Amino acid sequence: MSSSLPQNEQALENRVKPKRKSAIATFFSNLSRSWTGLIGFIIIMTLIVISLIGQWITPFDPYFAEFSKKLLPPMTEGHLLGTDQLGRDIFSRIILGARVSVIIGLATALIAGLIGTIIGIIAGFFRGWIDIILMRIVDVTLSFPFILLVLVINAIIGAGLRNIIISLAVGGWVIFARVIRSEVLALREKEFITACIATGVSRFEILIKHIVPNLFTPIIILASLQIGTYIIAEASISFLGFGVAPPTPAWGNMLNEGKDYIFSSWWLITFPGLAIVITALGVNLFGDWLRDTLDPELKGE
């Protein structure tokens, strides 16, 4: 701390400084107080790291099939979690499969969130006939079971990472649209917006400067709660034989391939499933914590 600063400026700096740090510091101090949130955060971070460096840390080549070593039980010949029906190392495939789950969870949340938010803002801010039409589309989409909708779309447009993300986003944007619309409607009634209108701020400026920044919290909460749904949906659909096609390792299609060996080799269906459960649990715990922290009014809902 330089002592050359005039006294009042020093005092000012002292008052401002802790605030500048606060965003990240508050995040971690809040997180450390909730062990469920902390567990969720650790799981998510581990998963992201694995998905980034996965290809360099696999003990075996996840694609390399060696028929003489097929269906080896866990802990044999260096295969921690055993090998599958083609002799590929399951542990390595689970590590590489993490990437599929992370990409699908994040990409779908991003695309569905973006489309849903834009549509929600349009409907809520402009109201009128466009609102009515958009909300009817939302009602209709929401009145079809999410997993079935995604499954039918995906089965028709075909397998592959890109197509499963498209299918999930088509089914997923509606929930963002509905929530963001009601947020915008509520914001419009707030005094600070009325004050803006009264002082002659343009509609566009109100939207960009005063409404959109207030939408970040609900968007982040919703996205974090939806990611788990997307990951489980992708796994279910890949398990059914659509979604991510083999040989690309995804936890869902590993279970699909492994289910034929259920009577002889339990490890084929056990470990990829555990990976899904741990991931979904982590995302849900973190999402719940985020919601409780950012929006205490919703706590326990």
Partner 1 sequence: MLDFIIKRFFQVIVVVLLALTVVFFLIRISGDPTTLFLPPDAPKDQIEEYKELLGYNRPLIVQYGDFMFHAVQGDFGESLRSQEDALGIVLSRIPATFQLAISALLIALIIAIPLGVLSAYKRNTVFDKVGVALTIVGQAIPSFWLGLILIYFFAAQLKILPSGGGGTAIHLILPTLTLAAYSVARFTRFTRSAMLDVLRKDYIRTSKASGVPTFRLIMRYALRNSLIPIITLVALDLGVLLGGAVITEVVFSWPGVGRLLMQSLMNRDFPIVLAGVFIIALIYALVNFIADVLYAYVNPQIRVK
Cα separation, 232 vs 230, whole angstroms = 6
- Other C-beta atoms closer than 10 Å to the C-beta of 276 total 24
Residue with structure tokens 């899904």? 276
Q: Return the number of the residue (138 or 180) whose C-beta is nearest partner 1.
A: 138
Cα separation, 81 vs 73, whole angstroms = 7
Question: In the complex, what is the shortest distance from the CB of residue 50 to partner 1, in angstroms, rounded to a whole number?
Answer: 18
Residue of 207, 182, 181 lying closest to 193 (CA atoms): 207
User: Three-state secondary structure along 16-75?
Assistant: HHHHHHHHHHHHHHHHHHCHHHHHHHHHHHHHHHHHHHHHHHCCCCCCCCCHHHCCCCCC
Q: Return the number of the residue (72 or 237) whose C-beta is nearest partner 1.
A: 237
Question: In the complex, what is the shortest distance from the CB of residue 251 to partner 1, in angstroms, rounded to a whole number?
Answer: 9
Question: In the complex, what is the shortest distance from the CB of residue 144 to partner 1, in angstroms, rounded to a whole number?
Answer: 6
Question: In the complex, what is the shortest distance from the CB of residue 36 to partner 1, in angstroms, rounded to a whole number?
Answer: 8
Q: Return the number of the residue (10 or 236) whose C-beta is nearest partner 1.
A: 236
Q: Return the number of the residue (89 or 288) whose C-beta is nearest partner 1.
A: 288
Q: Return the number of the residue (189 or 301) whose C-beta is nearest partner 1.
A: 301
Q: Return the number of the residue (27 or 35) whose C-beta is nearest partner 1.
A: 35
Q: Return the number of the residue (179 or 255) whose C-beta is nearest partner 1.
A: 255
The residues that touch partner 1, with contacts defined as CB under 8 A, are 36, 136, 139-140, 143-148, 151-153, 155-158, 228, 232, 235-236, 239-242, 255, 259, 262-263, 266, 269-270, 273, 276-278, 280-281, 284-285, 288, 300-301
Question: In the complex, what is the shortest distance from the CB of residue 236 to partner 1, in angstroms, rounded to a whole number?
Answer: 6
Question: In the complex, what is the shortest distance from the CB of residue 35 to partner 1, in angstroms, rounded to a whole number?
Answer: 11
Question: In the complex, what is the shortest distance from the CB of residue 139 to partner 1, in angstroms, rounded to a whole number?
Answer: 7
Q: Can you tell me whether residue 158 is helix, strand or coil? A: coil
The answer to whether the bond into 62 is cis (omega within 30° of 0) is no
Q: Burial level of 105, CB count in 10 A (0-12/13-18/19+)?
A: buried
The answer to whether residues 121 and 218 touch, using CB atoms and an 8 Å cutoff, is: no
Q: How far is CA 116 from CA 134, 171, 182, 213, 294, in A?
A: 11, 11, 12, 16, 21
Question: In the complex, what is the shortest distance from the CB of residue 255 to partner 1, in angstroms, rounded to a whole number?
Answer: 6
Residue of 59, 50, 66, 84 lying closest to 259 (CA atoms): 84
Q: Return the number of the residue (43 or 121) whose C-beta is nearest partner 1.
A: 43
E strands of the chain, at which residues?
Answer: none
Q: Can you tell me whether residue 242 is helix, strand or coil? A: coil
